Amino acid sequence: MSDLGFSFSLSQLWQVAGGQIILLIAGLVLIFVDLWLSTDEKPDHVATMGWLTALSFLVALKYMTCTGWTLNEIVLVDVFSTEKFAIFVSAIVLMAGIFASLMSIGYMRNNKLVRSEYFILLLFAVYGTIAMVQSVDLLMMFIALEVMSLSVYVLAAFLKNDRKSQEGALKYFLLGSFGSAFFLFGVALMYGLTGTVNITKIAQVLSSGPLLENPGVLVAMAMLMSGLFFKMALVPFHMWTPDVYEGSPAIITGFMATAVKAGAFGIFIKLLSVTFTPILAHSGQPEFQSTVNLAALAAYWKPLLWWLALITMFVGNLVAVSQQNVKRMLAYSSIAHAGYMILGILAANDEGRMGVLFYLFAYTLMNMGAFGVLYLLDGQEGKAQTLDDYKGLGFKYPALSFLMALFLVSMAGLPPTAGFIGKFYLFAAAIKEGYFVLAALGILTCVIGAYYYLRVIWMLYMVEPSREVVAGGVGVPSMIALIAAALGIMYFGILPEGLAQVANVAQQGLAMVF
Amino acid sequence: MNAPILTYVTFLPLLGVLAILFIPQRSESGKNAIRWVSMVISTLVFIVSLRLYFDFDPDVAGFQFLEQYTWIPSYGITYFMGLDGLAFWLVLLTTFLTPITILSTWTAITKRVKEFQIAMLVLETAMLGTFVSLDLFLFYVFWEIMLIPMWLIIGVWGGERRIYAAIKFFLFTAVGSFLMLVCIIGLVYFHHQETGELTFNLLSLYDTNLARTYEILFFAAFALAFAIKVPMFPFHTWLPDAHVEAPTAGSVILAGILLKMGTYGFFRFAMPLFPDGSAFFTPLIIVLSVIGIIYGAMVAMVQPDIKKLVAYSSVSHLGYCMIGLFVLNRHGVEGSILQMINHGISTGALFLLVGVVYERRHTRMIAEYGGICRPMPIYASIFFLITLSSVGFPTTNGFIGEFLILLGVFEVNKAYAVLAATGVVLGAIYMLWMFQRVFYGKVSNPKNEKLKDLNRRELAYLLPLVALVFWIGLYPNFFLSKMHASVDHFISQVKISEPASPCAAVEHHAFVDDKTPLDVSSAKE
């Protein structure tokens, strides 16, 4: 913002925002393609649109991970940066996008939904999330957050004839706007206090001046954090989650639980480590010699996160136990997973940030997988939505049920799955910093978690069917997505080191945002 | 010893899983093919594991057949396997019992044969992996993997209340082991602070000097995980449910091998890692073991269900193993290890035998039987021999184990020895009384008149067990001679902190007959 001269070359623009540009162009192209198609033709082209969307995500992913990853830190007019942290989170978001678009093809076919806006909105949602995590400017962050949110609000309301979908979307819109307003108010306060919206410059101003004494800084920090807590669905900011997750189309629920959450976690970690923590002490910048001051801020947010982690894990897991609707149960479970990830953020060490990145990756695989199976079992007729409907499906649909079981075992954190390794990283980071009590209590909530995940598995395999359930046809795209997710979970569960190394490099990028 | 034989033994069953995946089970012949593949593979595992016997050096106090590869280097986690005198026997017990168990499922498991055999083979890999892991992370991974197939075996192929039993089994075990994970990580980081080395290698972690408070805390968490598995007295309530509801094969594996994981965990991890903590809790654990011995036996006495009776007898028998382990002398510990093997053989055999009549009559109630030694003479004789083994009759394996344990306890505390010995008497009462009610007298129930005696397949899996009963009973030194070095090493590891121990009174004579020079460093090669 401060530099309004726009002195950058096109090649710089392409290097920094290449991924975003690809998605934007793809989105615009798809809008025009959609305009050309007549209403009768549309059903035939759902698959094409889905594949094209997935392809553009793949191209963006390829660009960001291959070219973007090799770049040194470039900051574009103080707005976007190419730090590896943002690229890693973007890769997770793009991966979620690929899964979502592949699975949506089958989903739309099974539910007789033929609307190409769906894929266009998905593209813009992913674009917004990536722009959000790449930005180093609070205003840009907010704008990108809104691009993402607005697309997702509409996607959540996509089942027009389903009252639950409408109710959930409205709730999401109202509470989400509330959260955004908090965030924006925090931005305004920060700007008023420090005279800048650039997150690194805020850190400079904070650490050099007597501003830290000013309670306004704490209010601004609290506002910014609360806005993000809404998106991350931490207890007590979670009230919208169950209804929205239950009402939305299954794939969109999976997308919200993974991509949107990954984005929110991404900028939360970025804000905490760049703006509000002494991580900068390592960056060797002379102007940060007084970063010790920032430790004073950590003294405020650490106890806060301690309690948030605890109640999020407990409430998420305990309430999930009493859910009969599988989708709603997974909604509460995703709240609990956010609690586990807070453990890693609370630890605020390399292992913790690495753990959160690894967990977000693993969590995306298993959650997208679980929602994928969920929509397939949901079928066309005789919707299977409650635990009762899952009874005895295990031997009727062996492949789908096995995949579901695998995803759930991974969510329960049992080896040899990526979910287990991720949880191990998170808890190890917390224990390293001496949070024994929190880790022990947290692991007990994992036992509760294991109970309700296994309950789905025992409904599938150990109980006789109570009524006839016909699963929807598994198309090729969904099959590819599910098998890829399952293989990923197993692979990173057995050989996690490679991914963990990459995640570690990514989180180290945070210390070098300058 | 260049070939990574432990890896072969551990992962060979998975090869069977791969093969079975491709056999369709729609027809009866397909089902038989699956059973045979499973049987052949598990027998092959046994044969390969016999190789260990020839290469095992009984004079080495530390671990043998070491294999170490880096796995997750940033956390110091390695793929590290090795055997000592205890793990060696438990591995052989596992590879020996698995084919026997699989052979027993021929007619017992007729539905979902494919899934069942896959679960059995995965379970075997997990069990073997647990026994041979020398890296705490690797151990934990196998320990947890084991839960899932066992949970499925109880829950899918079990009796009426199978889901309740399965989930109870799972939750009890999970609470203990999840907490153990927190303490494993804690231990590793304390070790890291002390030495600057981040490692999950058990042999390095043995040398960690923890503050006493943490030793006690960590021991408590480890002990909870293992005590639930053993199961020790107040944590045993999942066991009768799991046993009663599990299919025969599940019960055999559960009693024969899974319970040993608990005692093995104490021997390998909880006690040597935290000697101070172990000393602190020794009095409590010994008291609980004595209560378990007597309580288990008394509850077993009044059970109307044969399987439940055998299940409670396990609580009693495992009480012996625990007390033998915690008196920390050679007699006690060796007796305890031998008793682990004995329990695997005789209780495994008892569950198999109960399964035989259950398949014929679909009931396990003692009252439904009576006088069946007339229609089933061979069955009755084998049952009688195993009963003798279970009550510790001289010339059978049970006698040697219990005798050694009582001898060990006697050296330390006479009162506990006397109390524990009542368990032997009670054991004789409940087993023989049950035997009498089931086999003697007139055939009171007309349904029992035409019961068929054992067929050849049933004989094939029962006779090896009977042979082992007498082998151990008559020539125990064959088994004990492989343990001496490891047991002495174990005692020296746990004994280090003896002067500070609050239960010095209990341990006071402990080293009476230890003449072997101890070599602490030998484990470090």
**What is the SS3 string spanning B304-317?**
CEHHHHHHHHHHHH
Question: Does some domain include residue A395?
Answer: yes
**pLDDT exceeds 50 at position B256:** yes
Question: Up-side HSE of residue B369: CA atoms within 13 Å toward CB?
Answer: 28
* pLDDT score for B346: 92
Cβ-in-10-Å burial (0-12, 13-18, 19+) of B120 comes to buried
Question: Does some domain include residue A231?
Answer: yes
Residue boundaries of the structural domains of chain B: 5-524
**What is the SS3 string spanning B162-204?**
HHHHHHHHHHHHHHHHHHHHHHHHHHHHHHHHHHCCCCCEHHH
Q: CA B514 → CA A367, A428, B17, B522, distances in Å?
A: 58, 41, 46, 18
Mean pLDDT of chain A: 86
Mean pLDDT of B112-121: 91
**pLDDT exceeds 70 at position A292:** no
Is any Cβ of chain A less than 8 angstroms from the Cβ of B72?
yes
| Spatial contact of A425 and A500, defined as CB atoms under 8 Å apart | yes
Tell me which residue in B163, B178, B189 faces A458 most closely, judged by beta carbons: B163
Q: Using the CB atoms, write b or e for A231-260: b if 16+ within 10 Å.
A: bbbbbebbebbbbbbbbbbbbbbbbbbbbb
Among B188, B57, B74, CA closest to B66: B57
A250: distance to nearest CA of chain B, Å?
Answer: 28
Cβ <8 Å between A450 and B170: yes
Cβ <8 Å between B185 and A431: yes
* pLDDT score for B500: 45
Tokens standing for residue B517:
């020079």
Cβ <8 Å between B182 and A439: yes
Is any Cβ of chain A less than 8 angstroms from the Cβ of B66?
no
Q: Which residues lie closer than 8 Å to B470 by C-beta, 6 or more apart?
A: B395, B396, B397
Cβ <8 Å between A451 and B178: no
CB B45: neighbour CB atoms within 10 A? 28
**pLDDT exceeds 50 at position A138:** yes
The C-alpha atoms of residue A369 and residue A483 are separated, in whole angstroms, by: 9
Cβ <8 Å between A462 and B178: no
Supply the angle between the helices A398-412 and A476-494 in degrees, to the nearest 10. 40
- How much helix, strand and coil, in percent to the nearest 5, is found in chain A? 80, 0, 20
Question: Does some domain include residue A5?
Answer: no
Is any Cβ of chain A less than 8 angstroms from the Cβ of B147?
yes
**Residue for token pair 């230890």:** B514
pLDDT grade, residue B513 (50/70/90)? Answer: very low
Cβ <8 Å between B74 and A463: no
Mean pLDDT of A58-82: 81
| Cα nearest neighbour of A396 on chain B | B112
Question: Up-side HSE of residue B437: CA atoms within 13 Å toward CB?
Answer: 16
The H-or-E segment that residue B72 falls in is strand B64-72
Mean pLDDT of B501-523: 41
Strand, coil or helix: B78: strand
Largest CA distance in chain A: 70
Question: Does some domain include residue A370?
Answer: yes
Q: CA A96 → CA A263, A371, A487, B64, B200, distances in Å?
A: 11, 12, 15, 47, 34
Tell me which residue in A409, A462, A497 faces B163 most closely, judged by beta carbons: A462
The C-alpha atoms of residue A61 and residue B75 are separated, in whole angstroms, by: 29
**Most confidently predicted of A460-464, A488-492, B66-70:** A488-492
The C-alpha atoms of residue B491 and residue A443 are separated, in whole angstroms, by: 33
**Residue for token pair 């993974």:** A258
| Spatial contact of A430 and A343, defined as CB atoms under 8 Å apart | yes
Among A93, A140, A24, CA closest to A360: A93
Distance of CA B82 to the CA centre of its chain: 18
The region that residue B80 occupies, defined by phi over 0 for left and psi between -120 and 50 for alpha, beta otherwise, is beta
In degrees rounded to 5, what are phi and psi of residue A137? -135, 130
ipTM of the modeled complex: 0.91
pLDDT grade, residue B2 (50/70/90)? Answer: low
| Spatial contact of B431 and B391, defined as CB atoms under 8 Å apart | yes
Tokens standing for residue A286:
């002379």
B493: distance to nearest CA of chain A, Å?
Answer: 27
Amino acid at A264: A
**What is the SS3 string spanning A103-114?**
HHHHHHHHCCCC
Q: Which residues lie closer than 8 Å to B118 by C-beta, 6 or more apart?
A: B17, B20, B21
Cβ <8 Å between B175 and A450: no
For the stretch A304-310, contacts whose Cβ atoms lie closer than 8 Å and that sit 24 or more positions apart, written own/partner, are A304/A225, A305/A342, A305/A345, A305/A346, A306/A346, A306/A435, A306/A438, A308/A229, A308/A234, A308/A235, A308/A339, A308/A342, A309/A339, A309/A340, A309/A342, A309/A343, A309/A346, A309/A438, A309/A442, A310/A339, A310/A438, A310/A441, A310/A442
Chains A & B: contacts with CB separation below 8 Å: 77
**Residue for token pair 């967990």:** A359
Is any Cβ of chain A less than 8 angstroms from the Cβ of B220?
no
Question: Up-side HSE of residue B282: CA atoms within 13 Å toward CB?
Answer: 28
| Spatial contact of A405 and A457, defined as CB atoms under 8 Å apart | yes
Between A79 and A425, the higher pLDDT residue? A425
Question: Does some domain include residue A4?
Answer: no
| Cα nearest neighbour of B141 on chain A | A415
Tokens standing for residue A489:
């979970």
In degrees rounded to 5, what are phi and psi of residue A348? 55, 30
Q: DSSP letters along B319-340, please?
A: HHHHHHHHT-SHHHHHHHHHHH
* pLDDT score for B338: 92
**Residue for token pair 């090729």:** A476
* Percent of chain B topping pLDDT 90: 52
Question: Which residues in A lie closer than 8 A to residue B73 (C-beta atoms)?
Answer: 497
**Residue for token pair 């073997």:** B128
Strand, coil or helix: A116: coil
Is any Cβ of chain A less than 8 angstroms from the Cβ of B112?
yes
Q: Using the CB atoms, write b or e for A80-95: b if 16+ within 10 Å.
A: bbbbbbbbbbbbbbbb
The C-alpha atoms of residue B146 and residue B119 are separated, in whole angstroms, by: 10
Tokens standing for residue A507:
């989180």
Total domains present in chain A: 1
Domain that includes residue A495, residue range:
10-512
pLDDT grade, residue A347 (50/70/90)? Answer: confident
Tell me which residue in B73, B174, B189 faces A447 most closely, judged by beta carbons: B174
Strand, coil or helix: B235: helix
Mean pLDDT of A206-226: 82
| Spatial contact of B366 and B358, defined as CB atoms under 8 Å apart | no
**pLDDT exceeds 60 at position B125:** yes
Between A186 and A115, the higher pLDDT residue? A186
CB B456: neighbour CB atoms within 10 A? 6
Of the listed ranges A91-100, A202-211, A254-263, B161-170, the one predicted with least confidence: A202-211
Cβ <8 Å between B185 and A428: yes
Tokens standing for residue A72:
């040194």
| Spatial contact of A234 and A308, defined as CB atoms under 8 Å apart | yes
* pLDDT score for B493: 85
pLDDT grade, residue B453 (50/70/90)? Answer: confident
* pLDDT score for B246: 92
Among B423, B292, B308, B446, CA closest to B369: B446
Which neighbouring-strand residues pair with B365? B305
**pLDDT exceeds 50 at position A451:** yes
Tokens standing for residue B447:
């349904």
| Cα nearest neighbour of B191 on chain A | A432
Mean pLDDT of A251-269: 92
The C-alpha atoms of residue A145 and residue B272 are separated, in whole angstroms, by: 54
The H-or-E segment that residue B70 falls in is strand B64-72
Cβ <8 Å between A427 and B181: yes
Among A178, A369, A353, CA closest to A269: A353
Cβ <8 Å between B174 and A436: no
Question: Does some domain include residue A3?
Answer: no
**pLDDT exceeds 50 at position A2:** no
pLDDT grade, residue A509 (50/70/90)? Answer: confident
Q: Using the CB atoms, write b or e for A408-434: b if 16+ within 10 Å.
A: bbbbbbbbbbbbbbbbbbbbbbbbbbe
